[in-house]
Amino acid sequence: MSVCVVVCVLPCDGLATCPGCTLPPAHRVLEIGTSSPVTHYGISGMMGELSVKDKELIRGSWESLGKNKVPHGVIMFSRLFELDPALLSLFHYSTNCDSKQDCLSSPEFLDHVTKVMLVIDAAVNHLDDLHSLEDFLLNLGRKHQAVGVSTQSFTVVGESLLYMLQCSLGQAYTAPLRQAWLNMYSIVVGVMSRGWAKNGDDKAD
Ligand code: HEM
C-alpha cells in the first residue's frame, strides 16, 4: 500500500492515481506554497465566466475524481487542517473533533466532506450555468458566517483543493488545469463570500 507523503495518514488505495506521491515532499510543499493566485478571488460580486478550455479541463479531470468523492475530500481536509489546525475547533459534532485524526474519523465530519464535494460536483455539472447555483451559494456563505468560518478560510480550502488535485492527478496537474480550477473555485467562493458578508451586515443592522 502506498501512502501520500505529505498527507501522511492517508492510504492512496482507492484513488485512481496518485503519482504526485512519488515526488519528494519538499517539492510538493513548495509547489503549493508558492502558488499565489488563490488570493485573487472574485469577491467583488459578479459571477465570472469560464473559458471553453477551462470547462474542458475541469470536466475531464473531475470525471474520475468525482466518482470517488470522500477519499479525495479527506485528502483536501487533511491538508486544510495541516495549513490551519485552528479550523478543527469549528466542527462541533457529537463525536469529538479535537484532533485531525478524531475529526477525519468522525461520521458527521465525513458528511461535511461529502457535502463540500457535492457542492464542487454541482459546480462542475453547471459550468455553463453557474448562475443557477447563485442563491444556494449565497445561502451557504451565510450559513458559514453563522458557524464562525472566515472568508480567509475559504482561501485555505482553495489551496487544499489544489493540493488534492495535484496529489490525485499527478502529471495531469498542469498549469492551465490548475488555473481552470482556480477560476471555478474563485467564482463559487466569490458568491459564498457575498452571502457571508450579507449575513454579517444583517446582524450589524
Ligand atoms: C474552513 C472551511 C469550512 C469549515 C470550517 C466549514 C464548517 C461547516 C460547519 C461547521 C457546518 C455546519 C455543520 C455541518 O453541516 O456539518 C457546515 C455546513 C456545510 N458546509 Fe462547510 N465549512 C467549510 C467550508 C465549506 C466549503 C468550501 C463548502 C462548499 C464549497 C462547504 C459546504 C457546506 C455545506 C453544503 C454545508 C451544509 C449546509 C446546510 O446545512 O444547509 N463548507 N460547514
How confident is the model over 9-47, as pLDDT tens digits? Answer: 233 333 333 434 433 332 233 233 333 333 333 333 456
pLDDT at site 97: 85
pLDDT (average), residues 167-186? 97
Of all protein residues, whose CA lies closest to atom 37 belonging to ligand 1? 115
C-alpha cell of 147? Answer: 458557524
C-alpha cell of 75? Answer: 485528502
C-alpha cell of 16? Answer: 485512481
- Residue 92 gets the label, from left (phi > 0), alpha (psi -120 to 50) or beta, of beta
Q: Model confidence over 57-88: pLDDT tens digits?
A: 999 999 999 999 999 999 999 999 999 999 99
pLDDT at site 5: 33
pLDDT at site 134: 97
pTM: 0.81
Q: What is the architecture, at CATH level 2, of domain 49-204?
A: Orthogonal Bundle (1.10)
Compute the mean pLDDT over every residue in the chain, rounded to the nearest whole number. Answer: 81
Residue 201: pLDDT band (50, 70, 90) is: confident
Ligand 1 centroid to residue 137 C-alpha, Å:
11
**% of residues, the chain, pLDDT over 90:** 68
Which of 63-77, 96-110, 138-152, 177-191 shows the lowest per-residue confidence on average (mean pLDDT)?
96-110
Which of 85-99, 146-160, 161-175 shows the lowest per-residue confidence on average (mean pLDDT)?
85-99
Distance from CA of residue 23 to its chain's centroid?
22
Ligand 1 centroid to residue 54 C-alpha, Å:
26
pLDDT at site 205: 64
pLDDT at site 46: 55
Instruction: List ligand 1's pocket residues with C-beta within 6 A.
Output: 87, 90-91, 112, 115-116, 119, 140, 143-144, 147, 149, 153-154, 157
Tell which wins on pLDDT, 63 or 48.
63
pLDDT > 80? residue 173: yes
